[in-house]
Amino acid sequence: MARPHGGSDARGEGGGRHPRHRARGADRDAERGRPRHADLHAERCRRGQAAGAGAHLRADSARRPGGWRPHAPDRGAGGADPRQVPGIARARPFSGPGDRRLKRALCIVAHPDDIEFFCAGSVLLMTRRGVHVDFVVATSGDKGTEDPDIEGPALAARREAEQRQAAAMLGAQDVEFLRHADAELTESLELRGEFVRAIRRSRPDLLLTFDPTPGYRQHPDHRVVGRMALDAAWPCARDRLTHPDMGPPHKTAEAWLFAGPKPTLKVDVSSVLAEKIAARLEHGSQTGSPAALRARWRHIAGEERFAQVDLR
């Protein structure tokens, strides 16, 4: 029997069931209490998303914009998952600031007060149990003020002093200012090399920095620092022939990215909230009403959120 023009038969386009027949079948399923095919598909998708919601992230330029995707285990030549091969064990991600494997950490940020805004509580929880924590600040915040009576070098000097005082309160060991111009950071080999040098000198187990993922409002310096810090940690600081003049290579185990849209780790910092607020208030040039900040932060600053990135 000849088919209608266009190559379709009575079963519908492409040989499938006719749309009217599919609709009737779906109606019968609904009447009998069976889930529709579309509902089953949606449920499978929902379960898949839920199963992957806590996945750790790793570098891979083929997926998520910004070069990151949910972690998938490396596979050997035979295609086997190393977690299922006898004799091969995959390291567990850090459970939080209290993880005893954490001995050294490095915070790389764009401006004075970034650390106090985004990760000061976690820093306190680490330093109080003896973790060595260093800070690297890419700019001195020389454009961050609404005060018409201060600018340029005077503002930068004040903000550096504020950051040093806050760092002392948080228990940080070293604070380095790279002194790039505020609001003018760009992705460059120079900046990446400076971050590589800082990582190789500090030799952290953990890097804390900005989530550079595009698609939401963020200071441009934050995106640049996040991208360059991650590139510096993996693979550049690890590889001895990359930036060879910046010190011996170092492998950082993990990065925690803050200020991003998809956190995978939540840290309760309510036990050190008062100290976190006090450190934030050291940045007087950035504080309008200390009383208002205290009242607001008591309600919103008791938890810090990060996206964990496996760099192992």
Classify residue 175: in a domain, yes or no.
yes
| CA atoms of 198 and 202, how far apart (whole Å) | 6
Q: How confident is the model at residue 50, as a pLDDT? A: 46
Is beta strand 68-70 parallel, antiparallel or unpaired with respect to 57-64? antiparallel
Closest to 53 (Cα-Cα) out of 291, 266, 273, 289 = 266
Q: How confident is the model at residue 91, as a pLDDT? A: 87
Handedness of CA 158, 160, 165, 166 (dihedral sign): positive
Classify residue 226: in a domain, yes or no.
yes
Q: How confident is the model at residue 48, as a pLDDT? A: 47
Mean local confidence (pLDDT), 201-212: 98
Strands (E), the chain: 57-64, 68-70, 104-109, 132-139, 174-180, 206-210, 254-258, 265-268, 303-310
Q: Average pLDDT, whole number, for the chain? A: 82
> Does residue 23 or residue 172 have the better pLDDT?
172
Q: SS3 of 118, please?
A: helix
At 122, list the tokens.
């976690």
Q: SS3 of 292, please?
A: helix
| CA atoms of 74 and 85, how far apart (whole Å) | 12
| CA atoms of 302 and 293, how far apart (whole Å) | 13
Classify residue 209: in a domain, yes or no.
yes
Mean local confidence (pLDDT), 52-63: 39
The one-letter code for the residue type at 26 is A
Q: Please check the confidence at residue 27 and state whether its pLDDT lies above 90.
A: no
pTM check: above 0.85: no
Q: How confident is the model at residue 88, as a pLDDT? A: 53
Q: How confident is the model at residue 76, as a pLDDT? A: 42
294: CATH: 3.40.50.10320
Q: Residue 43's pLDDT band (boundaries 50, 70, 90)?
A: low
At 10, list the tokens.
């009575």
Mean local confidence (pLDDT), 47-75: 42
Classify residue 232: in a domain, yes or no.
yes
| CA atoms of 28 and 34, how far apart (whole Å) | 8
Domain count, the chain: 1
Q: SS3 of 183, please?
A: coil
Q: How confident is the model at residue 201, as a pLDDT? A: 99
Inter-CA distances, 86 with 75, 79, 81, 83, 312, Å: 14, 14, 10, 8, 19
Tell me the residue range of the domain where 230 lies: 104-310
Cβ(192)–Cβ(232) under 8 Å?
Answer: yes
Classify residue 268: in a domain, yes or no.
yes
Classify residue 34: in a domain, yes or no.
no
Classify residue 10: in a domain, yes or no.
no
The one-letter code for the residue type at 311 is L
Classify residue 199: in a domain, yes or no.
yes
Closest to 183 (Cα-Cα) out of 228, 133, 138, 249 = 138
